[in-house]
Structure 1
Amino acid sequence: MGTSEIVYLILSLIFLFVCAFFSSAEIGFIKLQRIRLKHLQEEGIHGAERVAKIMEQPSRFLSTVLTGISFAETIVVALGTIFIVALLGEGIGTPVAIVVIALLLLIFAKVIPKTIAAQHPERIALPLSKPIDIISKLFYPLVIVLSWIAGRFTHIAHSSTMPKALISKEELGTVIDMGEEEGVVDEASAEMLRRVVGLGEHQVWRLMTPRTEATWLEQGITLSDFLKTYAESPAQRYPIYEGSYDNVEGMVSTRDVLAALAKRSINRKSIVTDLSRSVYFIPRSKTVGELLGEMRAEGYLMAVVLNEYGGTSGIVTIDQLIEHIAGEIEEELAGAKKAYEVVGARTYKIQGSTRIEEVNEELQLGIPEGDYQTVGGYALNLFGRLPKEGEQTVDGELKLLVAEVKDNKITRVFITKEKRKTEPGTPLAEGEVE
């Protein structure tokens, strides 16, 4: 083996390494997720800022590494073939060179470096960012031409110039699911994150307390009458009306009343509504995410949901919005009614004002969605009329018995989840036992 063959061998191995360098850089940069890269930038990790700058022009980056790979592979093939032919002779050397060089390129310049880069993109991309940046500048004219050509073709194939979001809502949901499966976040935290992600989809009217279900204070009510109302229907906040529920004047906070009592600034004959706070008026189409941000920014504790005619549809408080995210918060007020009670193996006594979403989540009843928000509305929808106390009906696996009707509202029902399925709305005779 002469000196020239040794030189060819050394140069072939050097350019084989160069080819592996560009191959690992290609996969390392591409596999480094943008969210992770953003986090590395914020942490001030060395090289992260340079990687982000390089990836701002992906066509230029790809032109650089692919040019490097092509150039290095060409040198390896040429010099490697010369070396093997010189060593074995032209007859057998050529086919051996083709097989050996192809295997070397496949294993050491493709499979191994790309596999390592795919498994450890940070360890590859960060240290290689500086040499890639230097090479990109050295071959700037060639890279620019190649990037321009690639840009023309990609423009034809995909004319949209809209920037792609860092991560889509669906992808974020998948990340949360994966985090829960792998134990990164617990079940409660994962559920809370899903609710936060869905804030922009849920409209406020699905959470509100309908005007007929809310407990109201009439403008000018005294402390004595307020205490009676509080004893019957404990709440943290009460909307104030004058004349009708469509004319909402504000709200009274129970905490403000207690504070005034503690300071002895009011007595039993004092007008409680003098302690009123402003409320926020919103359309039914407002989303939970929008409203929560606006109420926090403006300091509102209660919002009045208006229908298309300007009338009051219902009331929603800051607590309801927070519960939508964090889950049900146990009521601390003395005398507060429980939304439901378990009275049998598969039977529940449920307040008519309880929201369908809450019942389905807590009791797994599977009540279908429809043009109603509460259990009482669901029962009214099934009967198609206002039922009498004691009337029953079935909906699939659910059997409903109307326990209480007040002021033309279904205020309490018994729901039993049966095994057999029956056509929705099938009435049962009063007192019938299945």
Structure 2
Amino acid sequence: MDDISTGVLFTLLACLIIISGYFSGSETGMMALNRYRLKHLAKTGHKGAKRVEKLLSRPDRLIGLILIGNNLVNILASAIATILGMRLGGNLGVAIATGVLTLVILVFAEVTPKTLAALYPEKVSYISSFLLSILMKLLSPLVLFVNLITNGFIKLLGVSARQNGDDHLSSEELRTVVNEAGGLIPKRHQDMLLSILDLEHVTVNDIMVPRNEITGININDDWKSIVRQLTHSPHGRVVLYRDNIDEVVGILKLRDPFRLMLEKNEFNKEMLLRAADEVYFIPESTPLNVQLLKFQRNKERIGLIVDEYGDINGLVTLEDILEEIVGEFTTSISPSLADEITPQSDGSFLIEGSANIRDINKSLKWKLPTNGPRTLNGLILEHLEDIPQTQLSINVAQHAMEIIDIEENRIKLVKVFPNKIKKS
């Protein structure tokens, strides 16, 4: 070293600091990469992504290579700085050189490159992976030797150095990914993806047509009444029953009786019963994701929901589940949420008591409790623990509510003030 000029040593020291910064930035960039985007790019043939994916398949070797290079460079830089300090200032120069080198390495070889790599991990990783791949081949004996020692020590701690391949996302993690996609995924598509994830948390009870709203035909009615109900029904399918909805005998596709009438020139109760399909029953509290698959597997589009005693609670269709994903269909016969919620000039909303709480929350971004009653009427009755006989004002779940209309022991219309509690 005594034969090397001071200028050359300064140049060599600067090069070593740059190399140290390269190793530091490469380490941060590799670890900060989005692994799922990396896999996608590698599958599409991106050369840089393929190199990085190969290096990251054994992170212990990659980290070993980077740390070997970084430590060798830093130790050599420290030795050169010591020589320069001795030449320029003797023992005092060594102390000054140590302090200055520490600051320079922190700023230019650690903080700055690592910050840049954390901000632009793909650019840094894909470029540096080319040189790292070459160094991995050249220094593989040294890397393997170091890893043999470190992996042995890691095993003593009960940890495997190999990746376990557990890169799967839970539904909640996937929800976060979708939410963080921002402009990469259109808002409409984000809502649909999130709705699909919600299917496992929503049951058929949450979206069913309640028992008292099921459109059905009593097969024991007189024939003229039955024909009138058939010709004026707004639905494509109707439930056939005897006297009581619990005595259901089948589900009729309305086009079938008219087709049979044209083909066989007969139109009577017996023909209706022959044309009706067998009833498909669904246990209450079946998750929507499960029921969607059951509809597909059994080639069904409609089912009656029964409780643990076999009594009919309501009705659900394939279209009801699809609406949970894509939103309401314009051809839906049942009242839309827009018909049940009317905005007022004072910022409040007039809401039908029969409106579904989940639909209200989704439409208005509220957080009314959904772990109990499913309608606004039910929520208020549960809160009051009584059926109100007159109009009154209450506070429910941080919302001031005024009961406007009551009919047949049901709250028909409510005025709701969002996130505003009225003081009594």
Give the shorter-chain TM-score range.
Answer: 0.7 to 0.9
Aligned residue number for residue 43 of structure 1: 44
CA deviations on 1:40-85 (whole Å, 9 max, x unpaired) are 1232211323323433333333233223222221111113322443
Matches of 2:227 and 2:59 in 1, distance apart?
Answer: 68
- Counterparts in 2 of 1:346-357, with a 5 A limit? 346=348, 348=350, 350=352, 352=354, 354-357=355-358
Q: Is the 8 A contact 2:203 2:287 kept in 1?
A: yes
Aligned residue number for residue 206 of structure 1: 206
Matches of 2:414 and 2:90 in 1, distance apart?
Answer: 90
CA deviations on 1:391-420 (whole Å, 9 max, x unpaired) are 545432223244543xxx74x712223677
Q: 2:71 matched to 1:70?
A: yes
Classify 1:47/1:298 alpha carbon distance in 2 versus 1 (closer, same or farther; 3 Å). Answer: farther
Classify 1:149/1:17 alpha carbon distance in 2 versus 1 (closer, same or farther; 3 Å). Answer: farther
**TM-score of the pair, normalised by structure 2:** 0.77
Q: Is the 8 A contact 1:59 1:151 kept in 2?
A: no
Matches of 2:251 and 2:225 in 1, distance apart?
Answer: 16
Aligned residue number for residue 235 of structure 2: 235
- Counterparts in 2 of 1:25-424, with a 5 A limit? 25-86=26-87, 88-136=88-136, 138=140, 139-150=143-154, 152-153=156-157, 155=159, 165-180=167-182, 183-185=183-185, 187-217=187-217, 228-229=228-229, 234-241=234-241, 245-246=245-246, 250-254=250-254, 256-257=255-256, 260=259, 268-269=267-268, 271-277=271-277, 280-331=280-331, 333=333, 339-340=339-340, 342=342, 346=348, 348=350, 350=352, 352=354, 354-362=355-363, 368-369=369-370, 371-378=372-379, 381=382, 391-396=390-395, 397-405=400-408, 410=410, 413-417=412-416, 421=422
Q: Is the 8 A contact 2:351 2:415 kept in 1?
A: no
Identity %: 25
Classify 1:93/1:370 alpha carbon distance in 2 versus 1 (closer, same or farther; 3 Å). Answer: closer
Matches of 2:115 and 2:359 in 1, distance apart?
Answer: 48
Q: Is the 8 A contact 2:257 2:275 kept in 1?
A: no
CA deviations on 1:82-126 (whole Å, 9 max, x unpaired) are 24433x152343123213322332232212321221122111222
Q: Is the 8 A contact 1:60 1:147 kept in 2?
A: no
Classify 1:151/1:220 alpha carbon distance in 2 versus 1 (closer, same or farther; 3 Å). Answer: farther
Matches of 1:250 and 1:364 in 2, distance apart?
Answer: 40
CA deviations on 1:9-36 (whole Å, 9 max, x unpaired) are 4543443333222211111111111222
Matches of 2:286 and 2:145 in 1, distance apart?
Answer: 53
Matches of 1:329 and 1:258 in 2, distance apart?
Answer: 27
CA deviations on 1:344-371 (whole Å, 9 max, x unpaired) are 755637373x423224544678765464
Q: Is the 8 A contact 2:251 2:276 kept in 1?
A: yes
- Specify the code of the residue in structure 2 equivalent to 1:39: H
Q: Is the 8 A contact 1:59 1:150 kept in 2?
A: no
Give the CA deviation at 1:224: 6.8
For structure 1, the 5+ residue unaligned runs are 424-434
Q: Is the 8 A contact 1:209 1:316 kept in 2?
A: yes
CA deviations on 1:298-357 (whole Å, 9 max, x unpaired) are 432123333223443322111111111222223355xx65653749755637373x4232
Matches of 1:165 and 1:282 in 2, distance apart?
Answer: 36
- Specify the code of the residue in structure 1 equivalent to 2:61: R
Query: Per the alignment, in what secondary structure is the counterpart of residue 401 of structure 2?
Result: strand
Give the CA deviation at 1:179: 4.2
Q: Is the 8 A contact 2:23 2:66 kept in 1?
A: yes
Q: Is the 8 A contact 1:223 1:268 kept in 2?
A: no
Classify 1:230/1:369 alpha carbon distance in 2 versus 1 (closer, same or farther; 3 Å). Answer: farther
Q: Is the 8 A contact 1:279 1:304 kept in 2?
A: yes
Query: Per the alignment, in what secondary structure is the counterpart of residue 155 of structure 1?
Result: coil
Classify 1:78/1:223 alpha carbon distance in 2 versus 1 (closer, same or farther; 3 Å). Answer: farther
Give the CA deviation at 1:144: 3.1
Query: Per the alignment, in what secondary structure is the counterpart of residue 99 of structure 1?
Result: helix
- Specify the code of the residue in structure 1 equivalent to 2:64: S
Q: Is the 8 A contact 1:221 1:273 kept in 2?
A: no
Classify 1:100/1:170 alpha carbon distance in 2 versus 1 (closer, same or farther; 3 Å). Answer: same
Matches of 1:46 and 1:53 in 2, distance apart?
Answer: 11
Computed over aligned residues only, the root mean square deviation of the Cα atoms, in angstroms, reads 4.1
Matches of 2:185 and 2:38 in 1, distance apart?
Answer: 21
CA deviations on 1:148-205 (whole Å, 9 max, x unpaired) are 424544739xxxx98755445444444444445xx45555444333323322222222
Q: Is the 8 A contact 1:18 1:72 kept in 2?
A: yes
Classify 1:4/1:162 alpha carbon distance in 2 versus 1 (closer, same or farther; 3 Å). Answer: closer
Classify 1:198/1:415 alpha carbon distance in 2 versus 1 (closer, same or farther; 3 Å). Answer: same
Classify 1:245/1:265 alpha carbon distance in 2 versus 1 (closer, same or farther; 3 Å). Answer: same
Give the CA deviation at 1:288: 1.7
